[in-house]
Structure 1
Amino acid sequence: MKMNSTSILLLWSMTIGVMISMSSNSWMMMWSGIEISMMSFIPIMSSNSMLSAESCTKYFIVQSSSSMIMMLSLLMMISKSKLNYEMILLTSLMMKLGAVPFHNWVLSVVEGLNYLMLLNLLIIMKMAPLTMLSYLFSTTTMIPMLTMILGSIMGINQNSLRKMLGYSSIFNLGILILSTKSNPVWLSFMMMYTIMMISIISFLYKMNLNYINQMSVNNHKKMINLKMWIILISMGGMPPTLGFSAKLLIIEFFIKMKMSMNLVVMILSSILVMFFYMRLAISTITYSSTMNKTKLHSVKEPSTNLMMVNLMTLPMMMSLKIMN
């Protein structure tokens, strides 16, 4: 995407829409902020390709449909209807987030996006609906558990890196939905997950990687291989990385809230997620460097700063915990 004045204006508008939703104490203002961010995001996610146009159309249909359902629930709330408007509002938020059983649109949309727009879709556009979800009292635990299970199982068989990140995002969405019962917990987890996503997406973008069979990076420096390993094991949740710190935070929260069933499902699902990220990490050294079906076009070496953040977070968190 070329960054011209129009794109910058739309990005600002999208960010302001998310901030309005997160900072407002009115349901209508939250809905307005979500609509502003959606209408700003759609023009910048589109490009000249047919796949991108298809992704934009699907995204618009899903988001506009969920917005209509949300407006219906808000009108029922204002009119003090006897119907269960909270369940209708919850359904609209699950549609917007892409939770089970409304997850299929996420996988269809991610294939038509470049990596910058993928980051916006999987991180920024989730902030406002999650904030609204944190204000609801009737949050279900079955939907997030199914979301974690599906995201972890379906991500194993993927060859497309975008779809793999999509399923990984669905898995982490299940954790986020459960952790919205505590604002500090879900915001902390979201911040850690954002850092990890920025790390892996910036690496994939700079190395021009789209599929797992392109992960043969033996022709490059050992430092690039090391960075890739650290980023991937962090996404998988291996100690002592940032991903493990995030999982540790959620485990502690689940234990405090006595959510034993959710804890078991999260741990088992995390093992599957760790498996497909470790498979990806191992493929960087096991694939032969003579595989020239797809070539890498490395423009510049990925940043070391994000790698250090992924490594140093757990020791820092443990030190702060001991001091407290």
Structure 2
Amino acid sequence: MLLMSTLITLSANNWISMWIGLEINMMSFIPLILDKINKSSSEAAMIYFLTQSISSVLMIMMILIMMCKYLMPNFMINSIIMISLFIKLGAAPFHMWMPKIMSNMEWMKCSILMTWQKIAPLFMISNLNNKMMLYIIIVLSVSVGSMGGLNQTSLRKMMAYSSINHLGWLLAINKSMNLWMIYLVIYSIMIMSVCYLFNKYKFNFINQIMSINMNNMDKFSLFLLMLSMGGLPPFIGFMPKWLTIQSMINEKEIFIMLIMIMFSLITLMYYLRVMTNMYLSFNSSIKWSLNYYNYLTVTVIMINLSLPLMIIMDIM
């Protein structure tokens, strides 16, 4: 139902059908959160339901007003529909619910919230035209996402703020369907890999990374993934940011692009903070050993290092 609801929204040709897709999506994600019933999951499900319900009510009101012409200017209707979609996405300044519910959820459910749940609202935003509001939300999301993660000790909250930062980059190329889909696919692969490793070793807080003994291949893989998520070349995570920068230069959006790049460096700093804790606590063991050879880990490493190969193939 979760997969089908997003496809309903993507294939719809009117606002009511898109809204129905979003509602089915919400009602199918809540049972996933409540898979293991405890206090944390109940609180997360309730917060998710309330925030999504508020945004859905706003949206359906504006759609009904849109159908009754001349009640409200189109510009205002578009703006309020965009606000409702930003609430659904957890974009700043409507972001406070996202770190809160992610701190109460399991890693694999967090990865769905950060990836798949973004597709339908982003598609709907690409059908609306309000550049000024979009620019404000991009700058706020990028800045809040980078500054909010600085003082976090919880890895889940840190990843939530990281997701808000990446959302700003996704919104910057929202008008080009091909570009934001490429960005989302690469970002999803990175998030799924990071969440898999955090879930495997039951990481919840930064200091746990120092105390739990990971195998060397997984350490190396997590190190590359964190650098890749920060958008550092020559890793694959640099490619979507490169495409975004190129697109924004073509659109003459230089000032916003510079703000985004500067705040992106701050996110790279808190990714590196996770990694330095891990590497400074390295004990006197063999640093490179194939005793822990794992196909999934090797695949993640190869994907992360595939950008130079892609550039060479493109030049040829």
TM-score, with structure 1 as normaliser = 0.89
Amino acid at match of 2:31: P
CA offsets 1:221-252 (integer angstroms, 9 cap, x no match): 32222112111111111111111112111111
Counterpart in 2 of 1:40? 28
Measure the CA separation in 2 of the matches of 1:105 and 1:219: 33
The answer to whether the aligner puts 1:64 opposite 2:58 as a matched pair is no
Counterparts of residues 37-116 of structure 1 (less than 5 Å): 37-46=25-34, 47-81=36-70, 82-83=72-73, 84-116=76-108
Any gaps of 5 or more consecutive residues in structure 1?
1-12, 291-297
Measure the CA separation in 2 of the matches of 1:204 and 1:70: 36
Number of equivalences: 302
SS at structure 1 position matched to 2:5: helix
Measure the CA separation in 2 of the matches of 1:219 and 1:205: 14
Measure the CA separation in 2 of the matches of 1:190 and 1:222: 29
Distance 1:301 1:156, change over 3 A: farther
SS at structure 2 position matched to 1:180: coil
Counterpart in 2 of 1:225? 219
Counterparts of residues 122-161 of structure 1 (less than 5 Å): 122-139=114-131, 140=133, 141-161=135-155
Q: Contact 2:10 / 2:18 at 8 angstroms: preserved in 1? A: yes
Measure the CA separation in 2 of the matches of 1:155 and 1:239: 22
CA offsets 1:296-324 (integer angstroms, 9 cap, x no match): xx9x8963212211111x1243134424x
Counterparts of residues 160-239 of structure 1 (less than 5 Å): 160-216=154-210, 219-239=213-233
Amino acid at match of 2:5: G
Measure the CA separation in 1 of the matches of 2:40 and 2:108: 16
The answer to whether the aligner puts 1:247 opposite 2:241 as a matched pair is yes
What is the root-mean-square deviation in Å for CA atoms of aligned residues? 1.9
Measure the CA separation in 1 of the matches of 2:120 and 2:262: 29
Measure the CA separation in 2 of the matches of 1:181 and 1:311: 29
Distance 1:219 1:206, change over 3 A: closer
Measure the CA separation in 1 of the matches of 2:203 and 2:44: 20
Distance 1:241 1:200, change over 3 A: same
The answer to whether the aligner puts 1:256 opposite 2:244 as a matched pair is no
Q: Per-residue deviation at 1:41? A: 0.6
SS at structure 2 position matched to 1:303: helix
Amino acid at match of 2:46: T
Q: Per-residue deviation at 1:217? A: 6.6
Q: Per-residue deviation at 1:255? A: 0.7
Amino acid at match of 1:45: I
Q: Per-residue deviation at 1:218? A: 7.7
Q: Per-residue deviation at 1:288? A: 6.5
Amino acid at match of 1:238: L
Counterpart in 1 of 2:11? 23
Amino acid at match of 1:66: S
Measure the CA separation in 2 of the matches of 1:143 and 1:288: 41
TM-score, with structure 2 as normaliser = 0.91
Q: Per-residue deviation at 1:79? A: 1.4
Distance 1:283 1:234, change over 3 A: same
CA offsets 1:266-294 (integer angstroms, 9 cap, x no match): 1101100111111111111113759xxxx
CA offsets 1:184-209 (integer angstroms, 9 cap, x no match): 11111111111110111111111211
SS at structure 2 position matched to 1:215: helix
Measure the CA separation in 1 of the matches of 2:21 and 2:86: 17
SS at structure 2 position matched to 1:16: helix
Amino acid at match of 2:202: N
Measure the CA separation in 2 of the matches of 1:211 and 1:172: 21
Any gaps of 5 or more consecutive residues in structure 2?
285-291
